[in-house]
Amino acid sequence: MIFAKYSHHRLLTLAFPLIIANITTPILGLVDTAILGRMEQVHYLAGAAVGSLIVTQVYWVCGFIKMSITGLSAQAKGKNHLSSLKVLVQGVFVALVLAFFLLLSQGFILSGGLFFAQASPEVTSSISDYFSTRIFGAPAALANLVFIGWLIGQQKTRKVLLLQVLINLCNILASLLFVYVFGWGVKGVAAATVFAEYFMLLCALALVNIWSKENADIGSIQQLITKISEWLKMSQLKPMLHLNSHIFIRNLALQFTLAFITLKGVQYGASFAAVNAIILQFFALIALGLDGIANAVEALVGEEKGRQNAQALHQHVKVGLFWSSMFALVYAVFFYFLDDTIVGFLTHHDEVKSALVPYGMVILLLPLAAHWCFLLDGVFVGLSAGKLMRNSMLVSTLFAFLPTWWVLNGLNNMSLWIAMLVFLACRGLVLGGYYVFIYRQDPNKLLRIGR
């Protein structure tokens, strides 16, 4: 009982700074929108929005770096500080190599984005201005993903919150300076984000402080250089690259389902496209809380895997499931009573509000269906079970999402959201079923899952 209470306290202590950090993220987008929305021409706002979307999607797909590093960092924490530093160094190296390829292929990425956007010449110009500036933040942005994942794995979530607050404040101040003082327009907003990303990287390096007393096993600078050169050999990098490849495919499959809903909604009509955009905002609200719980579980599960303690690992999974369920119920009640208020905040068009009425049950069920896969993703990230995460996502996409949409296609846009609910439930069933199967066979087998 004492251990159970301690587990609840540990999880919540780790989760709340992450939840607050998640909540601060949309503030930046609101400020940028307000700045651009007050410019003389509307195409500035439209161009920056599309340009930001292109960059965000690229970084989101690259989010496999953060997920893999979180699990590996947590496992290393259960071993020793030198193992933790090895994970960080390898992660930053992979991030910088990936950023280098993004910079080389920026023309291709921009062309692809412009092809799908099919924008007017004025908007196209703004998209190009924004993207061509923002992409030079890729080295810092991807390295920051590594530092965030590493800090979560090390259970230093307050530092994650501090970094998130610092980058948002820096970005807001820089945007005001670059746009209103220097008069850089759309490029100014993009440059502010790039500046903030590099500022965050410097702050992350300072917060990590590898020469602290707890890292006494690192040795001298010469010894550290020797160790780093060894860690960056291909034979040493292969396990991390192998794990990243699985999570990369997993992220692509997830991105496919979200893009499918967006694009199909456009085909069904403008009002349905607006409906889908609003429901996705509800989904984003869900992620603010459930991601915090899942990230905390990643850190705790990974630590116990590093310590080879299967019973403690299972205890953290049970505690995580309890709080994930509580958050899902709170979200459902919140949406039940305040869905009209939230919709009214997001749109003033009566046509869209009327079109949203049949989707009330979908909005209510979203958190109840989603929390299982959010939580279990966290468990398997902590275990570094990349192959299983990849397979569960592919199975849920190919044998749940797409068949459900195809069978119910006569329902038009509603078929997309029924398919999404089935997709989320399937992910939870596959991951949860596998976990229960392994645990009932032999709890210690959980410790051997990975990569």
Is the residue at 8 inside a domain?
Answer: no
Quick one: what percent of the chain has pLDDT higher than 70?
89
Q: Are residues 199 and 323 in the same domain?
A: no
Q: Are residues 186 and 119 in the same domain?
A: yes
Domain assignment of residue 391, given as a range: 240-451
What pLDDT does 211 receive? Answer: 54
Give the residue from 6, 15, 3 showing the smallest Cα distance to 323.
15
Spatial separation of the C-alpha atoms in residues 376 and 320, rounded to whole Å: 9
In terms of domains, do 266 and 405 share one? yes
Distance CA 448, CA 68 (A): 16
Together in a domain, 267 and 399: yes
Is residue 5 situated within a structural domain? no
Instruction: Indicate if 264 and 322 belong to the same structural domain.
Output: yes
Per-residue pLDDT reduced to its tens digit, 77-93: 877 778 888 999 999 99
| Greater pLDDT, 217 or 312 | 312
- Answer whether residue 24 shows pLDDT above 80: no
Better pLDDT: 211 or 68: 68
**CA 172/CA 25 separation, integer angstroms:** 12
pLDDT bracket for residue 40 (50, 70, 90): low
Does residue 4 form part of some domain? no
Q: Both 173 and 273 in a single domain?
A: no
For the chain, give the mean pLDDT. Answer: 87
- Find which of 49-58, 79-88, 264-273, 378-387 is predicted with most confidence, using mean pLDDT: 378-387
Let me know whether 216 and 83 are in one domain: yes
Task: Give residue for tokens 């759309």.
Answer: 186
Q: Last residue of some domain: 232, 259, 290?
A: 232
Across residues 100-120, what is the average pLDDT? Answer: 86
Is 204 domain-assigned?
yes
- Per-residue pLDDT, 43: 64
Q: If you write DSSP's letter for every residue of 85-103 in order, what string do you get?
A: HHHHHHHHHHHHHHHHHHH
Is 187 contained in some domain? yes
- In this model, does residue 346 exceed pLDDT 70? no
Does residue 413 form part of some domain? Answer: yes
How much is the average pLDDT of 208-231?
71
Reply yes or no on whether the pLDDT at 352 is more than 90: no
Mean pLDDT of 374-380: 95
Looking at residue 348, what is its pLDDT? 67
Give the rounded percent of residues in the chain with a pLDDT score beyond 90. Answer: 52
Contacts by 91-95, CB closer than 8 A, 24 or more apart: 91/65, 91/146, 91/149, 91/150, 91/240, 92/143, 92/146, 92/147, 93/232, 93/237, 94/65, 94/146, 94/237, 94/240, 94/241, 94/244, 95/65, 95/139, 95/142, 95/143, 95/145, 95/146
In a domain, 256, yes or no: yes
Is 214's pLDDT higher than 70? no
Judge whether 394 lies within some domain.
yes
Nearest to 114 by CA among 47, 180, 177: 47
The pLDDT value recorded for residue 36 is 66
The answer to whether residues 179 and 291 belong to one domain is: no
- Contact indicator for 396, 426 with CB cutoff of 8 Å: yes
Residue 347 has pLDDT above 80, yes or no: no
Q: What is residue 138's predicted lDDT score, i.e. its pLDDT? A: 94
Nearest to 138 by CA among 165, 178, 177, 98: 98
Residues 98 and 202 both lie in one domain: yes
Q: What is the pLDDT of residue 228?
A: 85
pLDDT given for residue 280 in this prediction: 84
pLDDT above 80 for 313: yes
Alpha carbon distance 215, 80 (integer Å): 9
User: What pLDDT sits at residue 344?
Assistant: 74
My answer on whether 173 and 282 are in the same domain is no
Residue 287's pLDDT band (cuts 50, 70, 90):
confident
pLDDT in tens, 392-443: 999 999 999 999 999 999 999 999 999 999 999 999 999 999 999 999 999 9
Q: How does 16-50 read in b/e, with b if 16+ C-beta sit within 10 Å?
A: bbbbbbbeeeeebeebbeebbeebeeebbbbbbbb
Give the CA radius of gyration of the chain. Answer: 22
Same domain, 279 and 202: no
pLDDT tens figures, 136-194: 999 999 999 999 999 999 999 999 999 998 998 998 899 889 988 888 888 998 899 99
Helix (H) or strand (E) holding 428: helix 413-441
At which of 212, 232, 252 does a domain end? 232
Nearest to 85 by CA among 206, 216, 200, 218: 218
pLDDT tens-digit profile of 238-261? 888 989 999 999 999 998 998 888
Give the total number of structural domains in the chain: 2
Global pTM reads 0.89
